[in-house]
Chain A
């Protein structure tokens, strides 16, 4: 079973601060995805990373896939209250069949 761990579990910061959250595994994934989920709603896809070492930017969000495709990070610059939510990483195993989610990082950005 391929497992994903996320850290920190909870993060509360002030508006304007920067932050990084992490997604780690001992297994290799063919791809990793990052989602943001708000209470009572389904996860919304933010980005997919496929190539080891890949870096993708989405406005103030920067995503990186580890060289060995076992870990990923999400960096948010100048966080805003609208960034508040549960950030989930998810990986597809090398067979492309099963999709595994991490437990998530719950981010709270205070105005």
Chain B
């Protein structure tokens, strides 16, 4: 069975640009969460979506937004990129918001 998939695997952008990251959950999972992991730190919670509705939001600026589609896949959008947005962006899926999460391999974003 396929696990959580994320695309692209790597991305290089310049300051001020915007980026869209994509995530496909495990089949049957209806909840998707996004995390930012800066080098040397643990993942920081950004968003959680369940049944296409936002169920949780971390302490991130409005430049970060996300959505979930009818097939439960999800996109994370970041506008007006800053150097500090450089990080590994992780997507995790679960059956529901309170169930165990399974992580994808992440998208490595570098902002120059």
Contact = CB atoms under 8 A, between A and B. Distances in A.
Interface residues on B, range: 20 to 34
Interface residues on A, range: 20 to 34
Given A97-B48, A101-B44, A42 B56 contact: no
Interface in A40-93: 40-45, 48, 88, 90, 92
A42 B97 contact: no
Contacts of A92: 98
A99 B42 contact: no
A101 B4 contact: no
A103 B101 contact: no
Contacts of B101: 45, 99
Given A92-B98, A97-B48, A97-B55, A41 B106 contact: yes
A96 interface: yes
Contacts of B81: none
A20 B101 CA distance: 24
Contact of B42 (A44, A48, A97, A103): A103
A45 B102 CA distance: 7
Contacts of B59: 1
22 contacts: A4-B42, A40-B105, A40-B108, A41-B105, A42-B92, A42-B106, A43-B90, A44-B103, A45-B101, A45-B102, A48-B100, A92-B98, A96-B97, A97-B55, A98-B45, A99-B45, A99-B48, A99-B101, A101-B45, A103-B41, A103-B42, A104-B42
